[in-house]
Amino acid sequence: MMGLATQTRKIVKRIVFGPTDFPQQCAIGLHDPQSEVSVWMHGLGAPRDVTQNHVMACAAPFTIGIGLDGKQSGALAESTQLWLEFRERTAEGQLLVKMELQLSAVLPVGKHELYLFRVRNCRNYCLPRLRLWARYLHSAYQQWRQVPEIRMSARDTHAMVGFFACPRPVALVSVVDGEVGNIFPMNLMGPVGNSHFSLALNSARPVTSLLARAGEVALSSIPFQQASLAYELAKNHKREGVDWKRLAFGTRSSARLNLPVPEFSLRVREMRIEAVRNMGSHTLFLARILHDERWADGLQFFTVHGMYQAWKQSTRTLTASGA
């Protein structure tokens, strides 16, 4: 009897949610910069390609930062309709996600400015509407049951899912403050212009205060083959420091700051923190790039939301079958 009940629940779940259980993150290997999804900003005249200069600055409230030159403040303040479109980089340019934005703050970053936006509304086209909302309701139920580390509103949760329809690179962060050092993965980061970078870390984690004290950091791009190792190092977010001698891989010193970085790194960027801003659930670090060196070529570790990955796989299956 119990077996029949279990099978019935599985069938109902499959009908409501579809054939796939979507993980929050899927590891994929891509060349950097990724060329699968483009992100366009609308509302300031002709659409602008901001694929390489938009970042997530905070989860709650969900905030997106876009690096622009310092001449946009007036136009942004006057614009009543601003939005981002996430599109597949194909001839069809399939619309995946649309986010309506509201300007919340402007931060100076070198010769550029980082414009911070709250998401007013997010529309996700990776699933049929009914199935999408079934997923959203299930996610809300899971959040209520499990009491997550960061409590997010429904709007912010939907925006987070949409944001990760665009592949996000994962880097290993090396930071040292005196005798204390740590290495951990992160993907809430990105360039602001050619000389600066932004990083966002959970405000409650020990590594966040460590980075604020150290003021310097090295970001190492990760080969896709090392994705499982990077996931294993995620536990270091909750640790003040690590024993470098007990790491499961070799390290070498970075060229400028002499920080220990993995020998398998594809690219190493060394930075000095110039500003720290508490955004809510996350702390935003704005840094100046001191040295940027590529060590090797190859597929890099990226993550996407499982909803986009399932959509991509189903689309390719239909294309291959000629449907």
Domains of the chain, by residue range, sit at 37-166, 168-303
pTM for the model stands at 0.87
Encode pLDDT of 57-70 as tens digits: 999 999 999 998 76
Q: What is the pLDDT of residue 209?
A: 97
In this structure, how many other beta carbons lie within 10 angstroms of the beta carbon of residue 241?
18
Q: What is the pLDDT of residue 140?
A: 61
How many Å apart are CA 107 and CA 195, to the nearest integer? 15
Provide the CATH number for the domain formed by 37-166 in this structure: 2.30.110
Q: What is the pLDDT of residue 150?
A: 86
Q: What is the pLDDT of residue 79?
A: 65
- To which residue do tokens 């100046």 refer? 288
DSSP run (H or E) holding 289: strand 282-294
303 closest CA partner among 32, 25, 53, 97: 25
How many Å apart are CA 315 and CA 318, to the nearest integer? 5
Q: What is the pLDDT of residue 32?
A: 94
Collapsing DSSP to helix, strand or coil, 272 comes out as: strand
**Correct CATH for 168-303 of 2.170.190.11, 3.40.980.10, 2.30.110.10, 3.40.190.10:** 2.30.110.10
Low-confidence ranges of the chain (pLDDT < 70): 1-23, 70-80, 128, 130-145, 147, 314-323
